[in-house]
Amino acid sequence: MANHTNVLAQGIEIIGTIKFQNDMIIDGRVEGEIRSEKGKVTIGENAKIKGDVRAGEVKMFGQVEGSIHSARCELKANSKLLGDITTNSLKMEEGALLSGKMQTGS
């Protein structure tokens, strides 16, 4: 079966927990936890997340108010994280904002 990408487009708002297995792109608003054991979540530039994000890989262009737990995390320019981050590998571009504690490594 092909690898599927789930999309939560701009203009959509969800209150509650989102669980997924493959890849997910979020460009809307979420109030609640986002969870995936090994999946990859991309938080688009229009996204506003209020809750914790747990995934195998997180690529962030938008805004998260909550903690991030992942094996790999990438904070793109103009992204904003208001919370703590725990990851094995962190890449942070110039212009990204991190307001919280950071823990990297195994």
At 1, the pLDDT band (50, 70, 90 cuts) reads very low
The arithmetic mean of pLDDT across residues 93-102, rounded, is 95
Percent of the chain with pLDDT over 70: 96
pLDDT in tens, 28-78: 999 999 999 899 999 999 999 999 999 999 999 999 999 999 999 999 999
pLDDT at 3: 63
Over residues 17-37, the mean pLDDT reads 95
What pLDDT was estimated at residue 47? 97
64 CB-near residues (< 8 Å, 6+ apart): 43, 49, 53, 80, 81, 82, 83
DSSP 3-state assignment of 95? coil
